[in-house]
Chain A
């Protein structure tokens, strides 16, 4: 298992700070992506009002927070932010983070399903020289 969905009580990173990785403001740009997050994290519209973020642990052991965003006129969640949990004042290894997030994408795409296939993600990564594809 390359990606493990965890609760806040399962976090191993101690005294962490959150470091912004990336934001997706249009989770509903293509159908299926929003639903993948809704199903995985058991989200309901009530979560938009002060609900907890989601967390995942990569195979590397590094842990990440997913912030679910809400926007008027759009179904919840309208977007997500991914933040790395980094111990206190430790530096961030951005290449290691990028490898973890690539593995997260490999985990995500089969959960979206439909026309979105893991082999297409990997092939795209290879064409564009993503080192972990």
Chain B
């Protein structure tokens, strides 16, 4: 599908009320491979897009092509083009700000929100504030080298951010490598980190302030699922979501580091199905 001029790849399986599965950096729809069959079997239509710059979607080669606002606009247009209604969004990492922003933009169209290991406010986590290793990784000149020439987020970062590492190496790493084979294909892995605001006047900060303010006023049923071993967005972030969205169920704690979909897919799917069957907004 062409979205705002870019070619956007997505998985679309099943029939029924739609569930949108949103990945972050540096993953793609493959991250949800173990979520799709049980959700489809339970009678849902499951859509898992690859954000522009990731997976099998188009990879613009210029850093200035990307902003948080462009990503939100691309996802909003994707949802509109597919004509998705009564939508439940499942989001993690950058999927959070993108998916939650789309819910804010068109709340009557959303039935539920499932929030996992993410954030939706302008203040950075301690992990994102620290020079070592996070800010050093994407510092000027260092960033293109580490992220694009050495592909560190795929080659090492993913491995360090799952609990079941041997299983990850066997089952998943080749698929993440497959879509990041060369320098240009890895651009977004270093652009997304630079979009995380650290100071009030940084790029993206105003949009993140808008998102947090808007979420306070959103009355969509929600579920918070969090990894017990998560260090990028620690437990306090789950509690902050609970304070932002007091209607939310959870947090439910599962075995999982940052990429908890790799660690506990069946358990998380069980929580999502319980939520979809009983916790969503009624027609």
Contacts and interface: CB of A to CB of B under 8 A. Distances in A.
A108 interface: yes
B62 A25 contact: yes
B150 A130 contact: yes
Given A123-B132, A127-B156, A128-B156, A29 B140 contact: yes
Contact of B63 (A26, A101, A115): A26
Contacts of A109: 142
A27 interface: yes
Size range of the chain A interface in the assembly: 20 to 34
A121 B138 CA distance: 11
Contacts of B137: 124, 128
Contacts of B194: 26, 29
- A interface secondary structure, majority: mixed
A41 interface: no
Contact of A30 (B139, B149, B152, B155): B139
Contacts of A26: 63, 140, 194
Interface in B172-197: 183, 194
A94 to B, nearest CB: 8
B278 to A, nearest CB: 43
A34 B140 CA distance: 9
A101 B133 contact: no
A116 B157 contact: no
A10 B52 CA distance: 44
A28 interface: yes
A97 B220 CA distance: 52
B131 A29 contact: no
A118 B142 CA distance: 12
Nearest to A120: B132
Contact of B145 (A25, A30, A102): A102
A16 interface: no
Given A26-B63, A128-B157, A116 B145 contact: no
Name the interface size band of chain B: 20 to 34
Interface in B134-149: 135-146, 148-149
A130 B138 CA distance: 15
B140 A120 contact: no
Interface in A84-105: 98, 101-102, 105
Interface of A: 21-30, 33-34, 80, 98, 101-102, 105, 108-109, 115-117, 120-121, 123-125, 127-130
A101 B146 CA distance: 10
A43 to B, nearest CB: 15
A80 B145 CA distance: 13
Given A128-B156, A129-B155, A105 B141 contact: yes
The 7 closest A-B pairs by CB, nearest first: A33-B140, A128-B152, A22-B144, A120-B132, A25-B63, A124-B133, A128-B156
A27 B140 contact: yes
A128 B132 contact: no
B183 A29 contact: no
Contacts of B277: none
Given A25-B64, A121-B136, A124-B133, A129 B156 contact: yes
A116 B149 contact: no
Given A27-B140, A127-B133, A101 B149 contact: yes
B150 A128 contact: yes
Contacts of A129: 152, 155-156
B146 A128 contact: yes
A37 to B, nearest CB: 9
Nearest to A115: B131
A101 B145 contact: yes
B145 A105 contact: yes
Given A29-B194, A128-B157, A22 B136 contact: no
A7 B144 CA distance: 25
Contacts of B148: 22
B266 to A, nearest CB: 30
